[in-house]
Amino acid sequence: MALAAVHENSLTAFENLSSLVADSMRLVDGLIDDHLKTDIPLIEQIAKHIIYSGGKRLRPALVILASHIHGRVSAATIALAAAVEFIHTATLLHDDVIDESDLRRGMPSAHTVWGNTAAILVGDFLFAKAFELMVTTGDLRVLQILSKTSAIITAGEVRQLMESHSFDLSIESSLQIMGAKTSELFGAACQTGALVAGATDQDALDFYRYGYNLGLIFQITDDVLDYQVINISRGKVPGDDFREGKITLPVIYTYQTASSQERDFLNRTMVELNQTDEDLNHIRHLIEKHQGFEKSLSLATDIMQKTHLIINKQSTFKPLLKGLLVECLSRNK
Amino acid sequence: MALAAVHENSLTAFENLSSLVADSMRLVDGLIDDHLKTDIPLIEQIAKHIIYSGGKRLRPALVILASHIHGRVSAATIALAAAVEFIHTATLLHDDVIDESDLRRGMPSAHTVWGNTAAILVGDFLFAKAFELMVTTGDLRVLQILSKTSAIITAGEVRQLMESHSFDLSIESSLQIMGAKTSELFGAACQTGALVAGATDQDALDFYRYGYNLGLIFQITDDVLDYQVINISRGKVPGDDFREGKITLPVIYTYQTASSQERDFLNRTMVELNQTDEDLNHIRHLIEKHQGFEKSLSLATDIMQKTHLIINKQSTFKPLLKGLLVECLSRNK
């Protein structure tokens, strides 16, 4: 399957990736549509609503890129890309139910109840369909990697619920939870995309590490962005993590050097969830004061630099791969 | 792997099955324990609580029986039996959340909320682990069949939620929902257990039909038992279906020949869920009067007789396979 060439041009790395995978992505969309057809229209409606709701489709794009770099994009690549998108969508659906039903948020409102039921079941359906798609690759390694990844994602969600509502959470634990919940699927997308294109196990593992680290950088900048005023058109409402009491890197760093009075504020607002309208602005100032954003982004920069070592042996695609890391990190600018 | 012989004796077919699979089932239990170990004890606790809560373990027993009949019980059989039990447990966990959050049941009570979150995540974890286990069989056919089965189970649950709270539900639709929710996994357990032991596709498909029909008979008698006073030690509280307004075969048959006044009663209690203490006794009398139990069990008997045709070519195991069908049906006695 021929892919568009990567032009040395003024486009961003993400724009280059988009253009590189555009034709393949149309095939992925077709396969997704085929696999959502059942005699129950509700399933198709809900699944499509989530899948086509403006997500970045980064994970299937990484599968396609991985196959392209390590051989060629085949029917197995397309099936795998659709499967990875299904797994991602299933975890999004279940996370929504869980965030909703989290005790800290109080009682779910009545109008969300059918929504929850549908979200659980459509999530289960997508997960099952993901495995059906993977089977069509005929490659047991793919199934092994992605079933393990699915278990890790879920265990990460459990750990997040248990640990991420307290300032006892360490930087290391926070990175592990992020790793399980976000990075593993980025990594698995890269690794399996490479494997089905004929990469050696070692090359595929290197590409797993690239994807894993890209996922970490992506999530760290996401957690920073959540405290910054951003364009509403991106679909994210800033302050969600604060309102939900989700302890992320910027506030962990802040807590480490905060005064006793500042810690009381952090505990009241983020652990007891006793918040007033002014508190979001105040915590932004606190994070700035304690360099919580800088320290978070500095950690992401360290990860990026380690990742450069992994991709140094790439020749043609090194600029694109480096560009994706840099642009993931610079989203906060 | 040597299995105990089936003795011509005074034991019931279910007791014979138990004794036949006992050694293998201990290996299944060991494998289940291994796959529940994570660094998060909560997952292991919840999963074990459900798996070892006194279920009949009928599905893994059918996998083992299928391998035994069609060749031999191998490591693949044991992995598959554990995987099928994991899928079954995952669907139980998610069904519980869904029944709880069903609009008809009103608002979930606060103390169940953390329970719901855990149930969703442990269900997801078990589902992922089921696929990890299946990969170890090295048999893509197994993965293909069980991923398809998982999608069908979920679609059946959606259909049940949409259709089974109204007396518009036909006998045929009710059987289809039962088929998707219960019989498919019984069938897949039999089919895949046979395949990994070297059965031909046709023999495995015949055994799928045996399992599918056994599942139907199992579910029909379960739905009858739900209206009969049974031993509490079986763990089922009679009347659950009535209280939840779940329209099953005995009440569909009753509605078909009920008077206008009786239909008003059925709609008030089971559709509007406006129930008084005396209503459960009254509906039992109505079902008796309209032969709802007899007609349901007669349908199950028809299915049993068709299933005899499938197992007629079995020689050694025909008495056991017939016995399981008969005893499934006669549980209501």
> B119 lies in a domain?
yes
> B6 lies in a domain?
no
CA–CA dist B116, A145 (Å, integer)? 28
Q: Which of A38, A140, A155 sits opposite B138 (nearest CB)?
A: A140
Tens of pLDDT, residue by residue over B163-200, are: 888 899 999 999 999 999 999 999 999 999 999 999 99
> A1 lies in a domain?
no
Place of tokens 């320290």: A295
Calculate how close chain B gets to A34, using CA atoms only, in Å: 14
The answer to whether the CB of B204 falls within 8 A of the CB of B70 is: yes
DSSP H or E stretch at residue A241 = helix A240-244
Is the pLDDT score of A148 beyond 90? yes
Tokens of B179: 């088929």
Dihedral of the alpha carbons of A51, A54, A56, A62, in degrees to the nearest 10? 30
Amino acid at B182: T
> B303 lies in a domain?
yes
> A165 lies in a domain?
yes
> Which of A102, A126, A157, A158 to mutate to probe the B interface, most B CBs <10 Å?
A158
Which chain B residues are closer than 8 Å to A100 by Cβ?
none
Nearest-10 crossing angle of helices B13-36, B75-101: 80
Is the pLDDT score of A1 beyond 90? no
Is the pLDDT score of A86 beyond 70? yes
3-state secondary structure A159-228: HHHHHCCCCCCCHHHHHHHHHHHHHHHHHHHHHHHHHHCCCCHHHHHHHHHHHHHHHHHHHHHHHHHCCC
Chain B, residues 37-76, CB within 8 A of chain A, namely 38-40, 42-43
> A97 lies in a domain?
yes
Say how many CB pairs under 8 Å bridge A and B: 145
CA–CA dist B313, B297 (Å, integer)? 26
CATH number for the domain that contains residue A149: 1.10.600.10
> A3 lies in a domain?
no
Q: What is the mean pLDDT of chain B?
A: 88
Whether residue B155 and residue A43 make contact (CB cut-off 8 A), yes or no, is yes
Count CB atoms within 10 A of the CB of residue A333. 7
| E-strand stretches of A35-178 | none
Q: What confidence category does residue A100 fall into, taking pLDDT thresholds of 50, 70 and 90?
A: low
Q: What confidence category does residue B158 fall into, taking pLDDT thresholds of 50, 70 and 90?
A: confident
Share of chain A above pLDDT 70, in %: 89
Whether residue B40 and residue A151 make contact (CB cut-off 8 A), yes or no, is no
Is the pLDDT score of A130 beyond 50? yes
Q: Which of B98, B103, B129 sits opposite A121 (nearest CB)?
A: B98
> B206 lies in a domain?
yes
* Sequence-ordered list of residues with C-beta below 8 angstroms from that of A70, at least 6 positions apart, any chain: A193, A194, A197, A198, A199, A203, A204, A207
Which chain B residues are closer than 8 Å to A102 by Cβ?
113, 117
Average pLDDT over residues A158-180: 91
* Sequence-ordered list of residues with C-beta below 8 angstroms from that of B149, at least 6 positions apart, any chain: B87, B184, B185, B187, B188
Chain A residue whose CA is closest to B157: A121
* Sequence-ordered list of residues with C-beta below 8 angstroms from that of A259, at least 6 positions apart, any chain: none
CA–CA dist A70, A77 (Å, integer)? 11
What's this model's pTM, rounded to 2 decimal places? 0.90
> Which of B93, B98, B113, B244 to mutate to probe the A interface, most A CBs <10 Å?
B113
Calculate how close chain A gets to B132, using CA atoms only, in Å: 5
Chain A residue whose CA is closest to B99: A117
Is the pLDDT score of B102 beyond 70? no
Which pLDDT score, from 0 to 100, does residue A179 have? 97
Tens of pLDDT, residue by residue over B41-93, are: 888 887 887 777 767 789 999 999 999 999 999 999 999 999 999 999 999 88
Average pLDDT over residues A277-292: 94
Structural domains counted in chain B: 1
The range of the structural domain enclosing residue B227 comes to 13-332
Is the pLDDT score of A71 beyond 50? yes
Which pLDDT score, from 0 to 100, does residue B109 have? 35
Share of chain B above pLDDT 70, in %: 89
Calculate how close chain B gets to A136, using CA atoms only, in Å: 8
Q: Is the ipTM of this complex over 0.85?
A: yes
CA–CA dist A257, A240 (Å, integer)? 23
The answer to whether the CB of A129 falls within 8 A of the CB of B151 is: yes
Chain B, residues 124-163, CB within 8 A of chain A, namely 124-125, 127-129, 131-132, 134-135, 138, 140, 143-144, 147-148, 150-151, 153-155, 157-159, 161-162
